[in-house]
């Protein structure tokens, strides 16, 4: 089945931080479920009620509490039911790492209500580490693929994606329980600046360098190494650090040259922002393969 309403509807969550892609989103019917954020006791939904600037200002104030929470299973159930009622034969729900959020678990609980018609994928990442697999699923669905094929496209894209990031301080990750106290201590000892990445185990330290400028240079080095000889899509994210992000993206464009298929720049939203803090810069490398099952 092809056309404006694919047989498989694709759902993701608001931590994908997708760039503006109206043709893809409209053509594939990508549905985004927002996570919740509470700033100084005031609740809201990411990208709907609370933006990046608000959370960055709150984190800089330090006395302002910022917490996040997953969507409820009921919120996912409502979305799945609506999509199926509107004509989708099945739904693939693609989400951020279960190690970073309860969002995946909530989606799994909701999917159980619908039997084999709804499946859920854990991308073991966030940002465009989630966004690239979600868009791969949208493309597969738009081509008329089955639910199993759409799921395989998302899983393969996730396997070809590397997510790296730098933070000025590990304090926000430590507070949110996303990184252990021992690892957080690295960030204060001898002014060490860790480069982090997402894996199946959550957020882990990839390298340790001495300065912020060196960390950003190494981000570019590792991103180029991650691309290898493949063509690649690259996304750069930041929170309240547009100059750093612009410089990193410019460097990647120069170094990847003709192998760079697509380049995107977006600011992370309130949920990821609350855990990484202002100054964060991330790069996501999605290796492009001729065969969606190939792994790099």
pLDDT along the chain (296 residues), means of 10: 72 92 56 90 86 84 79 96 96 95 96 97 96 95 95 97 88 61 51 81 82 90 94 95 95 96 93 86 89 34
Q: Please tell me the predicted confidence (pLDDT) of residue 126.
A: 94
**161, 287 Cβ separation under 8 angstroms:** yes
Q: Please tell me the predicted confidence (pLDDT) of residue 178.
A: 53
Q: Please tell me the predicted confidence (pLDDT) of residue 202.
A: 81
Q: Please tell me the predicted confidence (pLDDT) of residue 210.
A: 81
> Which two three-digit tokens encode residue 11?
């759902």
Q: Please tell me the predicted confidence (pLDDT) of residue 292.
A: 35
Q: Verify that 178 and 225 share a domain, yes or no.
A: yes
| Spatial CA neighbour of 129 closest among 85, 96, 166 | 96
* Phi, psi of 176, deg, nearest 5: -85, 0
Decide if 58 is inside a domain.
no
Decide if 180 is inside a domain.
yes
**31, 9 Cβ separation under 8 angstroms:** yes
E strand map for 96-160: 118-122
Decide if 54 is inside a domain.
no
Q: Verify that 135 and 13 share a domain, yes or no.
A: yes
Structural domain ending residue among the three candidates 142, 159, 176: 159
Q: Verify that 143 and 238 share a domain, yes or no.
A: no
Tell me which residue range forms the domain holding 170: 161-288
Q: Please tell me the predicted confidence (pLDDT) of residue 21.
A: 65
Burial of 114 (0-12, 13-18, 19+ CB in 10 A): middle
Q: Verify that 131 and 13 share a domain, yes or no.
A: yes
Q: Please tell me the predicted confidence (pLDDT) of residue 295.
A: 35
Structural domain ending residue among the three candidates 136, 159, 182: 159
Total structural domains in the chain? 2
Residues 290 and 272: their CA atoms lie apart, in Å, by 32
Residues 191 and 187: their CA atoms lie apart, in Å, by 6
Decide if 204 is inside a domain.
yes
The enclosing domain of 125 has a CATH number of 3.40.50.10170
**237, 266 Cβ separation under 8 angstroms:** yes
Q: Verify that 172 and 270 share a domain, yes or no.
A: yes
Structural domain ending residue among the three candidates 159, 188, 220: 159
């Amino acid at each position: 089945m092809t056309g404006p309403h694919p047989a498989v509807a694709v759902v993701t969550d608001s931590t994908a931080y997708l760039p503006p892609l109206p043709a893809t989103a409209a053509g594939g019917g990508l549905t985004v479920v927002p996570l919740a954020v509470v700033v100084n006791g005031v609740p809201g939904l990411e990208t709907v009620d609370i933006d990046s600037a608000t959370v960055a200002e709150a984190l800089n104030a330090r006395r302002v509490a910022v917490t996040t929470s997953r969507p409820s299973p009921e919120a996912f159930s409502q979305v799945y039911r609506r999509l199926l009622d509107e004509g989708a034969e099945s739904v693939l729900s693609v989400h951020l790492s279960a190690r970073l959020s309860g969002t995946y678990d909530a989606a799994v609980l909701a999917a159980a209500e619908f039997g084999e018609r709804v499946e859920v994928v854990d991308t073991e990442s966030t940002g465009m580490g989630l966004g690239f697999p979600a868009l791969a699923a949208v493309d597969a669905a738009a081509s008329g693929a089955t639910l199993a094929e759409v799921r395989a496209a998302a899983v393969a894209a996730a396997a070809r994606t590397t997510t790296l990031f730098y933070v000025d301080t590990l304090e926000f990750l430590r507070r949110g329980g996303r990184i252990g106290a021992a690892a957080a201590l690295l960030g204060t000892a001898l002014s060490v600046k860790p480069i982090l990445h997402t894996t199946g185990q959550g957020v882990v330290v990839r390298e340790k360098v001495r300065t912020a400028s060196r960390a950003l240079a190494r981000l570019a080095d590792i991103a180029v190494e991650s691309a290898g000889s493949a063509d690649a899509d690259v996304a750069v994210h930041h929170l309240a650090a547009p100059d750093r992000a612009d410089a990193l993206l410019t460097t990647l464009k120069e170094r990847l040259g003709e192998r760079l298929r697509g380049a995107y720049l977006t600011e992370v939203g309130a949920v990821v922002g609350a855990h990484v803090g202002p100054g964060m810069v991330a790069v996501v490398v999605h290796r492009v393969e001729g065969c969606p099952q190939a792994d790099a």
